[in-house]
Amino acid sequence: MKRRSILAAACAATLLLAACGSDEETADTTVSATGGTTAGTATGDTAAPAADPVTVTGAWARTSPMSAENGAAYMVITSSTDDRLIAASLDASLAEKVEIHETVMAETSGSDMTTGTGMTATTGMTGDTAAPAMEMRPVDAIELPAGTAVELKPGGYHVMILGLTEPLVLGQELALTLTFENAGTLAVTVPVRDDAP
């Protein structure tokens, strides 16, 4: 009976060590971006994680009307160290160019008014409401403070796809490459949807 207890304890210890070894190997692997959680590599190969890994989640692009020449991609980017998103690109057969943009209040003139916040807004037809005018403009980079999730979303920062060769359609996947100042490049598969996931 004593011998069975010792044998059972030895088997349990062996299984525990094997399970721990498996977890350790899994923690050392990285995967490519797929619109879900990713780690800092541009391929699906198993490798040691990059020194400054970047995680991208919730990537998506909105479908576009048949006559649309431009599109946009959105996502949440988190870097483990201070970094900056400095560029994005797509295959040239899909679009003329890709830029990083932000949506901001437009500078207006004429019958526009300045609100109490110092922002310019155009007045509605009844004169008793103010609707701010918005515009998109390119930026040199998007700051990624260490450990902070930075959301690229409609009405804020986004990846602007200019000169589409064809409209973005539901179910399509875009192979977007993001370039970071410190972490290098990261391939992200961006599914095209009607609305945010």
Tell whether pTM > 0.75: no
Higher pLDDT, 147 or 66: 147
Share of the chain above pLDDT 70, in %: 61
Specify the pLDDT at position 107: 75
Q: 70-89 pLDDT, tens per residue? A: 999 999 999 999 999 999 99
What sections of the chain are H helices per DSSP?
2-27
Give the CA count within 13 Å in the CB-facing half-sphere of 112.
Answer: 16
Other C-beta atoms within 10 Å of 42: how many?
17
Strand 150-152 and strand 113-114: the pairing is unpaired
CA 143 to each of CA 17, 74, 129, 174: distance values in angstroms, whole numbers, following the listed order:
42, 16, 34, 24
Task: Check if the beta carbon of residue 62 is closer than 8 Å to that of residue 71.
Answer: yes
pLDDT bucket at 65, cuts 50 / 70 / 90: confident
Give DSSP secondary structure letters for 60-77: EEE---TT---EEEEEEE
> Is it the case that residue 14 has pLDDT exceeding 50?
no
Nearest CA to 40 among 183, 193, 136, 191? 183
